[in-house]
């Protein structure tokens, strides 16, 4: 059986020709459904793609324990902050290289602690 004979035996379509044609609104609807499905798949797979806490996170906490001297703790926190992708503000960078009073070290340590918290939250997202 040739294609011409097979086409001649077919019944005419029952839908109007304009209904069977593909229009811009049909394409937009398909695009919308595709985006919706992609979003649902992304939301379903997102928890699986999220990196788990590693031993390195626990090691980082051990590196900056309160048992260290203030200058050593400040230095280690600054190193951790830069490893997390942060950039030390100039005044904190200067405080790493200057000798300071205990009060100045405490304020620098608190500020760096806040910056570390923000960097960790950004990293988890």
Percent of the chain at pLDDT exceeding 90 = 17
Statement: residue 68 has pLDDT above 70: yes
CA dihedral (5, 10, 11, 13) positive or negative: negative
Percent of the chain at pLDDT exceeding 70 = 85
User: Per-residue pLDDT averaged across 87-111, rounded?
Assistant: 84
**E-assigned strand segments in 26-119:** none
Statement: residue 38 has pLDDT above 80: yes
Secondary structure class of 98 (helix, strand, coil): coil
Q: How many CA atoms lie within 13 A of 32 on its CB side?
A: 6
65 — pLDDT class (breaks 50, 70, 90): low
Q: Provide the pLDDT for residue 57.
A: 54
């Amino acid at each position: 059986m040739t294609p011409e004979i097979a086409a001649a035996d077919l019944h005419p379509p029952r839908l109007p020709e304009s209904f069977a044609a593909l229009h811009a609104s049909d394409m937009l609807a398909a695009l919308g459904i595709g985006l919706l499905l992609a979003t649902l798949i992304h939301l379903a797979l997102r928890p699986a793609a999220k990196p788990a806490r590693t031993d390195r996170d626990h090691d980082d906490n051990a590196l900056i324990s309160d048992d260290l001297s203030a200058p050593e703790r400040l230095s280690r926190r600054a190193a951790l902050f830069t490893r997390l992708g942060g950039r030390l503000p100039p005044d904190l960078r200067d405080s790493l290289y200057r000798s300071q009073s205990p009060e100045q070290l405490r304020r620098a340590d608190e500020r760096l602690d806040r910056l570390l918290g923000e960097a960790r939250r950004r990293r988890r997202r």
